């Protein structure tokens, strides 16, 4: 039997005074109209063993979205009968739920199932299912990556018996052949990160199946934008690999040479995300897209700075940063700007190459998130005009919180989708 859930602006009375939830016969009332409080209430209901809900009365779009966010759980098949909305809001809610379920399930998937090529294929098939006639794609894998010049993804992934892969997807709703995209999206798709020879401790490795959260986020963003009626061409690049140890794995002291001539000394094999993202950013720059957005679970430094509630935003272009933060605010997703200046590109010096991929100290040293963004800035054109880098500190929780189940959250995909629509 479904639990009927109501909303109320009034505080709970009697013994429930001050509580967020009060209970009746097969019913519960959430005493708030704020989406975040509703999300926490839904999380509490699921944690108490309820999995079947019927939302009754007057619920807004954001209120129902908050309830879905909190009620989602990787171990529970939660069922929700949503309250009535106008058609436009109902479509928006259905779209968000569809995309969020895909994103969170793929982030929570086991690394044994989600090999690099599987991630690339699943993402391509998901986007193609939303617009079959408007999507084309190519997956470059294994040694073909090196031959094509996608040196970063190849080097990081070559230590695994399961080959790395790079997805190149084109969404083209126009009648033109090969139009310049209005935007290009780049996602970090590390399906498991052992740290390589700079190996992580066991506790730090436990949740590294989620190191492909950037790939899931940009894919979900494109999916939501399509469902919202996106009528502009967009390119999607996912750089997918497993960062493992073997006799064929990349090593400290190796020097990589990218197609733009930048040479990189590997000083930390656990700073692999920026190595693969460089491939996608080069492709995004070559596409001519005026807007480039990349997303990655890139640094622990961003998590240390912002905690679990905000994603970090970096840009050399003040207008691009401002536009993205405005979109994030409109979508009720928390993002916060962290420093990025041109000098950050030189914060990882090397005696043997143009730059190192990190500094040979724990966490990359002071300013690690900004230094990582500075490294990425070497691979975007026009001194970073139109480029935004998202370090997804809020994309995953190791354990359940008051708002979220353990696992992926999907935070950030709505903001990117809004940017794509323009």
Span 210-214, average pLDDT = 98
111 has a pLDDT exceeding 60: yes
Question: Looking at residues 115-139, what average pLDDT do you find?
Answer: 98
Average pLDDT on 225-235 reads: 98
- pLDDT value at position 19? 84
Q: Which CATH class is domain 110-421?
A: alpha beta
Residue 94: count of CB within 10 angstroms of its CB: 13
Q: What percent of the chain has pLDDT over 70?
A: 99
Q: What is the per-residue pLDDT across 255-277, written as a single tens digit (0 to 9) for each? A: 999 999 999 999 999 999 999 99
Average pLDDT taken over every residue of the chain: 96
Mean pLDDT of 52-71: 98
pTM: 0.97
Could you tell me if 5 and 39 are in contact, meaning their C-beta atoms sit under 8 angstroms apart? no
Return residue ranges of the chain for CATH 3.40.630.10.
110-421
Select from 212, 198, 371, 192 the least CA-distant residue to 270. 198
For the cut 80, the answer to whether the pLDDT of residue 18 exceeds it is no
- The predicted pLDDT at position 143 comes to 97
What pLDDT is recorded for position 36?
A: 97
CA dist., res. 103 & res. 219, Å (int):
8
Is a pLDDT exceeding 70 seen at residue 322?
Answer: yes
The SS3 of residue 325 is: helix
Query: Which pLDDT value is given to residue 321?
Result: 98
For residue 14, pLDDT over 90 is answered with no
d(CA 356, CA 377): 14
pLDDT for 1: 83
Q: What confidence tens digit (pLDDT) does each residue in 358-374 have?
A: 998 877 888 999 999 99
Q: 375-393, pLDDT tens digit by residue?
A: 999 999 999 999 999 999 9
Catalytic residues: 200, 274
Q: Which of 340, 338, 333 is nearest to 395 (CA)?
A: 333
Of 16 and 89, more confident = 89
> How far, in Å, CA of 406 to CA of 107, rounded?
11
**DSSP one-letter code for 73:** B
Taken in order 139, 220, 323, 343, is the CA torsion positive or negative?
negative
Q: Rounded distance, CA 65 to CA 96, Å?
A: 8
Distance CA(194)–CA(211), nearest Å, equals: 10
Asked whether the beta carbons of 419 and 293 are under 8 A apart, the reply is yes
């Amino acid at each position: 039997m479904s639990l009927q859930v109501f909303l109320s602006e009034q505080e709970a009375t009697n013994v429930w005074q001050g509580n967020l939830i009060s209970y009746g016969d097969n019913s519960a009332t959430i005493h708030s109209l704020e989406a975040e409080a509703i999300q926490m209430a839904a999380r509490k209901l699921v944690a108490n063993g309820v999995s079947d809900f019927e939302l009754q009365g007057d619920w807004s779009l954001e209120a129902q979205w908050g309830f879905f966010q909190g009620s989602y759980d990787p171990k529970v098949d939660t069922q929700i009968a949503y309250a009535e909305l106008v058609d436009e809001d109902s479509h928006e809610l259905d779209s968000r739920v569809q995309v969020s379920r895909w994103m969170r399930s793929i982030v929570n998937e086991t690394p044994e199932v989600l090999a690099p090529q599987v991630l690339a294929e699943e993402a391509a098939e998901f986007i193609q299912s939303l617009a079959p006639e408007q999507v084309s794609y190519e997956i470059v894998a294994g040694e073909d990556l090196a031959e094509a010049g996608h040196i970063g993804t190849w080097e990081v992934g070559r230590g695994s018996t399961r080959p790395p892969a790079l997805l190149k997807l084109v969404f083209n709703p126009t009648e033109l052949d090969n139009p310049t995209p209005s935007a290009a999206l780049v996602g970090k798709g590390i399906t498991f990160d052992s740290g390589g020879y700079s190996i992580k401790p066991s506790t730090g490795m436990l949740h590294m199946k989620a190191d492909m959260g950037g790939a899931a986020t940009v894919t979900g963003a494109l999916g939501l934008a399509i469902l919202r009626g996106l009528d502009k061409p967009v390119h999607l690049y996912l750089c997918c690999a497993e960062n493992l140890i073997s006799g064929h794995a990349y090593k400290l002291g190796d020097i990589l040479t990218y197609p733009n001539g930048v040479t990189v000394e590997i000083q930390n094999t656990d700073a692999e995300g920026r190595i693969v993202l460089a491939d996608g950013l080069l492709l995004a720059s070559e596409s001519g897209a005026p807007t480039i957005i990349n997303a990655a679970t890139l640094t622990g430094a961003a998590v240390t700075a912002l905690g679990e509630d905000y994603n970090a935003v970096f840009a050399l272009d003040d207008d691009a940063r401002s536009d993205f933060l405005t979109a994030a605010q409109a979508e009720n997703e928390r993002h916060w700007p962290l420093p990025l200046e041109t000098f950050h590109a030189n914060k990882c010096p090397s005696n043997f190459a143009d730059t190192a991929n990190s500094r040979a100290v724990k966490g990359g040293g002071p300013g690690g998130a900004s230094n990582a963004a500075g490294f990425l800035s070497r691979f975007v054109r026009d001194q970073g005009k139109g480029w935004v880098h998202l370090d997804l500190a809020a994309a995953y929780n190791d354990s359940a919180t008051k708002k979220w189940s353990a696992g992926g959250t999907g935070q950030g995909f709505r903001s990117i989708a809004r940017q794509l629509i323009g």
